[in-house]
Structure 1
Amino acid sequence: MSQYPTPVRLAQALGLTGAAYLAGNIFAYSYATIPALQASAAKHSAPAPLLAKQWSELYARGKAQNPPIAAITAAAFAYLAWTAHSGKSAALDVLAPRNAVALYSAAAALTVGIVPWTFAAMKGTNDKLHERASEVYAVTEKTGQEVGELLSRWKVLNAVRGLFPLVGGLVGFLAF
Structure 2
Amino acid sequence: MTGSHYTRFKIIAQAVGILGSAGASGGIITISFFSIPPLLLPPSSPPRQPKHTTTTTTNNKKPTQTPATPIRHLLRQWLYIYTKGMNTFPAIVTASALAYIYLVYYYALHHHHNRHLAALSRRLYLTAAVVNLSAIVYSLVFIEGTVNRLMELVRRYDDGSEEMGEAGTTSVKEDGERGRRKEEEKKEASRLLAMWGQLNVVRGIFPLVGAVIGAAAALW
- What TM-score comes out, normalization by structure 1 length? 0.88
Amino acid at match of 1:25: G
- CA-to-partner distance for each residue in 1:66-109, whole Å, 9 max, x for gaps? 1111111101111111211x233628x47956521111001111
Amino acid at match of 1:79: Y
Q: Distance in 2 between matches of 1:79 and 1:90?
A: 17
Aligned counterparts, 1:51-66, within 5 A: 51-66=74-89
Question: Do the aligned residues in 2 keep the contact of 1:53 with 1:134 (CA within 8 Å)?
Answer: no
Residue of structure 1 equivalent to 2:142: 121
Q: Distance in 1 between matches of 2:206 and 2:154?
A: 28
Aligned with residue 109 of structure 2, among 78, 87, 110? 87
Residue of structure 2 equivalent to 1:174: 216
Q: Percent identity?
A: 29
- CA-to-partner distance for each residue in 1:21-47, whole Å, 9 max, x for gaps? 1001101111111012112x5447211
Which ranges in structure 1 are unaligned for 5 or more consecutive residues?
A: none
- What stretches of structure 1 move > 6 A for 4+ residues in a row? none
- Report SS of the residue matched to 2:69: coil
State the aligned residue count: 170
Question: Do the aligned residues in 2 keep the contact of 1:97 with 1:175 (CA within 8 Å)?
Answer: no
Closer/same/farther in 2, CA of residues 22 and 96 from structure 1, 3 Å limit: farther
Aligned with residue 100 of structure 2, among 59, 64, 77? 77
Which ranges in structure 2 are unaligned for 5 or more consecutive residues?
A: 1-5, 45-66, 164-178
Q: CA deviation at 1:9?
A: 1.0
- CA-to-partner distance for each residue in 1:110-159, whole Å, 9 max, x for gaps? 11222111110001100011111111324632111101100110011100
Q: Distance in 2 between matches of 1:47 and 1:131?
A: 17
Aligned with residue 158 of structure 1, among 183, 200, 204? 200
Aligned with residue 24 of structure 2, among 3, 22, 25? 22
Q: Which has the higher helix share?
A: 1
- Report SS of the residue matched to 2:40: helix
Larger Rg, first or second structure (1 or 2): 2
Residue of structure 1 equivalent to 2:3: none
Q: CA deviation at 1:12?
A: 0.8
Question: Do the aligned residues in 1 keep the contact of 2:111 with 2:118 (CA within 8 Å)?
Answer: no
Q: Distance in 1 between matches of 2:40 and 2:187?
A: 11
Q: Distance in 1 between matches of 2:43 and 2:151?
A: 21
Q: Distance in 1 between matches of 2:195 and 2:43?
A: 17
